[in-house]
Amino acid sequence: MLGGFLVGAIAGGLVVWKYRDYLSEYLKGNVGPARKTVDGLLRTVQQKSETLLDQAKEQLSSRLESTREKVRAGAPEAGRERPAE
């Protein structure tokens, strides 16, 4: 999860560095083409971060389910019932 955050932060930093001229135009008030560019960049960053979060969620869910299965497999001992879920 930390790895995904770091990748997102690095990607965001690279986007800002690459498009710094457009961003500075936007900040100066020349918002014509810069506004569309910034909007596109923000959309790209949003999509990438959502993808990274989805991947992290899938990995976490998979690992937790695997761990639960291992715990359930080792839970029943001689004479004991499995706890209800």
The CA angle 2-16-37, to the nearest 5 degrees, is 120
What percent of the chain has pLDDT above 90? Answer: 14
pTM above 0.85, yes or no: no
> Tens digit of pLDDT for each residue in 11-51?
888 887 887 887 777 777 766 676 788 888 889 989 988 99
Listed in sequence order, the residues at least 6 apart from 37 whose beta carbon sits closer than 8 Å to its beta carbon are: 19, 22
Do the beta carbons of residue 26 and residue 35 sit within 8 Å? yes
> Of residues 16 and 75, which shows the higher confidence score?
16
Distance in Å from the first CA to the final CA of the chain: 28
34-50: burial string, b at 16+ Cβ within 10 Å, e else: beebbeebeeeeeebbe
